[in-house]
Amino acid sequence: MATRQIYLDHNATTPLHPEVKAAMREAAEVFGNPSSLHAFGRQARQLIEDARATVAGFIGAEPEEMVFVGSGSEANNTVLSSLTCCSGHCDARGETLRQLITSRIEHPCVLEASKCIQEKGITVLYLDVVRTGKIDLGQLKKVLSGKRGLVSMMMANNETGTIQDIKQAAKLAHEAGALFHTDAVQAVGKIPVNVCDLGVDFLTLSGHKIYGPKGVGAIYVKKGVPFCPLIRGGHQEQGRRAGTENTIGIAGLGAAVAQRVKEMPGEAARLRTLRTMLSEGLTQRIPESTVNGHVTDCLAGTLNISFAGAEGEAILLYLDLEGIAVSTGSACASGSLDPSHVLLAMGLSPEQAHGSIRLSLGRDTTEDEVSFVLEKLPEVITRIRKMSTAYVRRENTNDGK
């Protein structure tokens, strides 16, 4: 194992904030069932409701509009699955909701859920994206024309960091009579998010992306919007998610959000400076390297970059030997050898997509760590390219022109 360890995979998961650890240790002493009416139960219930108020306030919602669930993936599946359940088939006017509109760059949990509901008879339409990773809102307006349904669009992409115009997309959906959901798992805690300003009907988030625990997420459900539980069998979460609440995890999520309130405002500028240092340094030092994603409308701490003549998996492994942790894309798709569906949708070739890595920075990332990456990554790319017979042959051909 390398003597130095640098973690640049915060979009996959984040380390627990020290204050979150402390809050969870304290919550671990509260063992009562939150549904019980005695003192032990009331103590647990208070922890949950305090966290609910904190999370709701952070995104501009009312506490009763928040539903705690087991993960961001469960949250997204719950919203999309509402289209196939009895109470989810009608909107506020009693008209059927039989269409889902989403995009080709969504998280795997949304894409897989979309396939599932399509098999159950729901029409699913997929929006295209341009080279920067921005979703084509003109296409959205066109396919929405005169149709009811649900639009599901991620706020910030987990692989490239590109941020979508959710406010405008939600406006278009509502003008057509459709409901709107945004997967904000990568956005909440990194950029300002206010559900009232955005005008969304559903918003989903996750604890472990913002220095909170794994195994807990939340759904914002706007008052009056039709909703159908994914997990049934109990009255918990206002009857919207059965199962005894994860008191420790929910307390941890609340604590994580409380820390984001304090730290997020000053963090973005620092991370953007480090990202620029990393981006410019790599493209200057490594020929045939290309940054993927929108130049300005992107998360401050996310950098996706492609290197010709190098496989992303090989880059990852060589960097790991140097003590540097990065990703080749979505952590939820890391077991697949297929090129990134996000990068392919943006117009990259399979070779370019295979030669991409994602570096995602966090609250503990330092300038010294970025400098170390700028020292080691060019050496790794040079080493890999020398082993690539196709790349060497191409270089020799170009030299002979």
Catalytic residue annotation: 332
Q: Which helix (H) or strand (E) holds 301?
A: none
* 399: exposed, middle or buried (Cβ count in 10 Å: 0-12, 13-18, 19+): exposed
Q: Which helix (H) or strand (E) holds 126?
A: strand 123-127
Q: Would you tell me the crossing angle of helices 18-27 and 247-285 to the nearest 10 degrees?
A: 160
Q: CA nearest 191: which of 260, 96, 94, 277?
A: 260
102, 173 contact by CB (below 8 A): no
274, 365 contact by CB (below 8 A): yes
Q: How many helices (H) and strands (E) does the chain have?
A: 14, 12
Residue 238 CA to residue 67 CA, distance in Å, equals 8
Residue 38 CA to residue 34 CA, distance in Å, equals 9
Residue 387 CA to residue 85 CA, distance in Å, equals 54
Give 219-222's long-range contacts (Cβ < 8 A, gap of 24+).
219/66, 219/67, 219/69, 219/75, 219/78, 219/79, 220/56, 220/59, 220/61, 220/65, 220/66, 220/195, 221/65, 221/66, 221/67, 222/65, 222/195
Residue 5 CA to residue 319 CA, distance in Å, equals 10
Give 227-231's long-range contacts (Cβ < 8 A, gap of 24+).
227/82, 227/87, 227/88, 228/81, 228/82, 228/85, 228/86, 228/87, 228/88, 229/78, 230/74, 230/77, 230/78, 230/81, 231/78
38: alpha, beta or left? (left if phi > 0; alpha if psi -120 to 50): beta
Q: CA nearest 68: which of 224, 242, 264?
A: 242
